Structure formats: C-alpha cells, structure tokens
Amino acid sequence: MAAKKLNIKDKYRLLTRDLDWDFSYEDRKKAFPYEEFEGIKITDWDKWEDPFRLTMDSYWKYQAEKEKKLYAIFDAFSQNDGHLNVSDPRYVNALKLFLTGVSPLEYQAYQGFAQVGRQFGGVGARVACQMQSLDELRHVQTQIHAMSHYNKFFDGLQEFSHQHDRVWYLSVPRSFFTDARSAGPFEFMVAIGFSFEYVLTNLLFVPFMSGAAHNGDMATVTFGFSAQSDEARHMTLGLEVIKFMLEQHEDNLPIVQKWIDKWFWRGTRLLTIVSMMMDYMLPNKVMSWKEAWEVYFEEAGGALFKDLARYGITMPKYSEVIEKEKEHISHQAWWTFYTHGHATGFHTWIPSDEELDWLSEKYPDTFDKYYRPLWELAKEKEAKGERFYTTGLPQLCQTCQIPMLFTEMDNPNQNSMRDTVYKGERYHFCSDGCCDIFEEEPEKYVQSWLPVHQIFQGNCGGPEMGDILSEFYKMNVGADNMDMKGSPDEERWNKWKGKA
C-alpha cells in the first residue's frame, strides 16, 4: 500500500515542533546559554503560537515562484532602459541612500535572526526566526538586483557594502543594528522584530515603495510588492514575541517596557533619514513626513499601544517629544546633508521654488519661520558662486551617532545638547532619549565607533578630507558627491533626454 500523504496540519507539526528534542544527558542551559541573562522569564515555551505556519518545503516552493516573477520583471526593466522612465535624476539619489543605508540592514537582520533562531529555547520561536532570517537574506539580494541596473548609469551605487561599514552618516543605521545584534535574543526581538518591523516598518517601506511608484521606478516597486507578504509575516512574529513575553511572567513587563522605550527612540532617530527622503529627495512627493507620521505612528501605533495596555504597556517614553519633532526633523536633516554635500556619496540640492512652496503648505507652523530662511541663504550664496559647503566636522551623538542637529522643541533655533560623565570621561547626546539609553548601559556605548573621532584618531586614512573620501570611503570624488547641479549624473541625463 502506498504511503498516505500527510495532511497540512500533521506535516506542519512534524516539520517544525517535532524537530525539537529533550535534553536527557546534556545540560539544557548550556545548549541555550543566552536565554536567561536578560532577566526574561519563560515558564512554558509550548504556549508560543507560531505566526508563520509554513514548512520549509512550502516556503521554498512559494518563494521560488515569487522570485521567478520578480527577476523576469527586473530583466524587462533592464532591457527596456527602465531608468529613463524615472521622474527626475534627483530621484536616484534616494536609491543611493537606500542601497548604502538600508539594504545592508536587511543583511544584518538576516544575521540577527539567524542568531536568535539558534538561541531561543522554544522550537516554535526558533523556526519562525530562522524563516525570517531567510526572508531577510532574500531581501538584501533582491534589493541589490533591483538597483543594480541603476549602477550601470548613475554614480554612487558602486561601493554600497564597503561604504556601509565606514561612511560617517552610514554609521547611524549600521550601529543601530549592531546595538540590537549585540543584545540578548529577547531584546533583539523587541528591537527589530517588534519596534522596527512592526511599529516603524510602515514608515520606511510604504513611503519608499509609494515614492518609487510616484517616480516611475518600476524595479523598486516590484521588489516592494514581492516583499510585502514576507513583511506581513514579520509583523505577526514581532507582535507574537511581545505578547508571549508578557503572558509568560509578570516580571517581564518592566523589562519589555524599557526595551520598547529604548528601541522606539532609536528607531525614530534612524527614521530621520526617511523623513528627509520623503520631504526633499522624491521629486514627485507622496505625502509629507509629518502626514506619514500621523497616519502610521500616531493612528496605527496609537491603536496598537491601546491594545497592549491590557498587559500594562504604555506609550513609549518621549512620544510627546517626537510628536513635536515631526514638524522639524526632515528639514534639519536635509540641511545637514546639503551643507555636508562635499562628503556624501549622493547628490544634494536646493529645493525648487515649487518644492519650497509645497513644504510651506505641508508645514505651515514651522517651515517659513525656521527653514525657508536657510534655503534663502543657500540660494544667495549659490548665486554668488559660493555654493555652501560647511567646513570642519560635526559633533556626533554618542548613542545614535547622528550629528547633533536636532533642536530644542521649546526653542527650535537652539540645538539640543545633553551630556553625562562616566568614569571621568564626558559623553554627549542629541536628546534626553539618547542620554537615557547610554546611562542604562554605559559600558556598551563607550564603544561607539564615532566616525568623526575615528578620523581624528587617524584610523580612516587622510588626514586630508579628499583622501579619506576617496581612499577610505571609496567615493569617486567629484562624481559621487557635491551638488546635483553640474554633476556627471545630471549631464548624462540631459544627454539621454536630448536637453542642452
């Protein structure tokens, strides 16, 4: 008699939960050495509810089909010179920032989920994390492929991986992930699985993928659609892990709350880059950063935290500061990149008059008062042939590693600066949020690899800035950096389009 085919439920049980075994002669604690040091108490891993409900064979089959379609579209995009259909060559600079700053995070997420997929004591959680790990590895690969076509025609995409590990502004996303990956497995899941993938991911992907659609970038849009079903699973996992910890033991609540406070703050600081992409780098705008924040955090996130209130979870600390900062951060960030445009791996520019008016309309309480004058000054300087590139190197925050560009919300003309002394050395922060994170674990953050300080220590080549940019960062100085106006990117585009 032929063997009966397993039904889905049995197959799922056998291929996931039943892969586990008991430790009869070895010490279970030695097999899972990271499980207890964070203070999280798990009484029964069997209560874990699998969010993925996928077996490996169906995972491969499903993903292979998806990717076959995705690569067919990439091929068509490439054969039809798809890059010529983008709205404006300025758009490609958002892709450069995405490829250098965000795609390598997918790789770090792959590494992080592989680690927790080994270290959790419960087999259900392990399998779910291993699956997400594979998703993340696929995402970095497909993103690289999606953008590789642009690399043939535009500057600044050629050394994304090398640059992610070195360039001053890329230390911000990089250190965000190394912070999470060097934490224990439960904190990693709150950091990446919950705060990043669940609470904040929509603020990264929805605007970015819609931005691609609005600006004629079909390769990136297609990637976005392809990743969507994976992202839905990741969000389910992120929420499951929070609920699981809170249901397992009441002592877990203060620890989980502390991590939510920390990673919400770290995440919003990281998203400063996205705010600037939305408000300044997309030639065809989708919505303002402020609007995106209101829809995806204040409304959607607000509902989530209402739901979590039954476990005793409260809104993340400093939410009220962030609510005010939504009016400011995109402008402050783009000004920072514009004034450091000689040291960025993408082009920067003064917004057009039309764009300045759009910003006034979207930010009626802040733009004309605080930020339009910056651009008036920049225009005045540019007209005199003195395009403004600031001298020297900025002070950085010890925790988020962003230049100390944020301002006080009760006096937006003044930079916000905090400091603390630990073991006789002074440390500086952009905010109370970043200062609190340091003070909770100073031995971790004294190790921050701050690009400005590393340059002064002589660890990045130089000492001339041009040598640091070309040799240590591997930027093509004069092509990758500087203003969009007069760039080789612009010149090529005008030639393709038959413009003078």
Partner 1 sequence: MPVFALNPGYEGERMDRVENFGGNQLVYIGWDEHRMFCAAKAFPLAPSMPFAAVMENIIPEAFSQHPEFSQINWDTAEWLLNNEPFKPQMNASLESQGVEHKALIRFKTPELKGYAGAGV
Q: Which residues bind partner 1 (CB under 8 A)?
A: 33-34, 37-39, 183-184, 187, 332, 335-336, 339-340, 369-370, 373-374, 376-377, 388, 390-396, 403-405, 407, 411-415, 417, 419, 423, 425-428, 441-450, 452-454, 456-458
Smallest distance from the beta carbon of 109 to partner 1, in angstroms? 21
Smallest distance from the beta carbon of 165 to partner 1, in angstroms? 16
Smallest distance from the beta carbon of 359 to partner 1, in angstroms? 15
Smallest distance from the beta carbon of 248 to partner 1, in angstroms? 19
CA distance linking residue 275 with residue 326, whole number of Å:
9
- Scored b (16 or more CB within 10 A) or e, 432-454 reads ebbbbbbeeebeebeebebbbeb
Smallest distance from the beta carbon of 442 to partner 1, in angstroms? 5
If the CB atoms of residues 362 and 387 are measured against partner 1, the closer one turns out to be 387
Smallest distance from the beta carbon of 74 to partner 1, in angstroms? 38
If the CB atoms of residues 458 and 498 are measured against partner 1, the closer one turns out to be 458
Q: How many CB atoms lie within 10 A of CB 376?
A: 12
If the CB atoms of residues 424 and 498 are measured against partner 1, the closer one turns out to be 424
CA distance linking residue 349 with residue 335, whole number of Å:
10
Residue whose tokens read 């899972």: 32
Distances (CA, A) of 199 to 203, 268, 470: 8, 10, 38
If the CB atoms of residues 299 and 376 are measured against partner 1, the closer one turns out to be 376
If the CB atoms of residues 294 and 439 are measured against partner 1, the closer one turns out to be 439
CA distance linking residue 87 with residue 253, whole number of Å:
48
Burial class (CB in 10 A: 0-12, 13-18, 19+), 181: middle
If the CB atoms of residues 165 and 441 are measured against partner 1, the closer one turns out to be 441
Smallest distance from the beta carbon of 277 to partner 1, in angstroms? 17
If the CB atoms of residues 33 and 302 are measured against partner 1, the closer one turns out to be 33
Q: What is the dihedral of CA 319, 400, 276, 237, to 10 degrees?
A: -60
Residue whose tokens read 């397992």: 248
If the CB atoms of residues 208 and 438 are measured against partner 1, the closer one turns out to be 438
Retrieve residue 245's tokens: 């910890």
The separation between CA 118 and the C-alpha centre of its own chain, rounded to angstroms, equals 24
CA distance linking residue 167 with residue 469, whole number of Å:
8
If the CB atoms of residues 294 and 432 are measured against partner 1, the closer one turns out to be 432
Helix, strand or coil, per DSSP, at residue 147: helix
Retrieve residue 246's tokens: 């809170």
Smallest distance from the beta carbon of 58 to partner 1, in angstroms? 36
Residue whose tokens read 């339009």: 372
Retrieve residue 212's tokens: 């691609």
Retrieve residue 86's tokens: 């983008």
First-residue to last-residue Cα distance in the chain: 78
CA distance linking residue 144 with residue 349, whole number of Å:
26
E strands, 213-368, in order? none
> Residue 306: which residues within 8 A CB-CB, separation 6 or more?
none
Smallest distance from the beta carbon of 170 to partner 1, in angstroms? 17
If the CB atoms of residues 231 and 467 are measured against partner 1, the closer one turns out to be 467
463 and 456 Cβ atoms separated by less than 8 Å: no
Smallest distance from the beta carbon of 404 to partner 1, in angstroms? 4
If the CB atoms of residues 166 and 285 are measured against partner 1, the closer one turns out to be 166
Smallest distance from the beta carbon of 373 to partner 1, in angstroms? 4
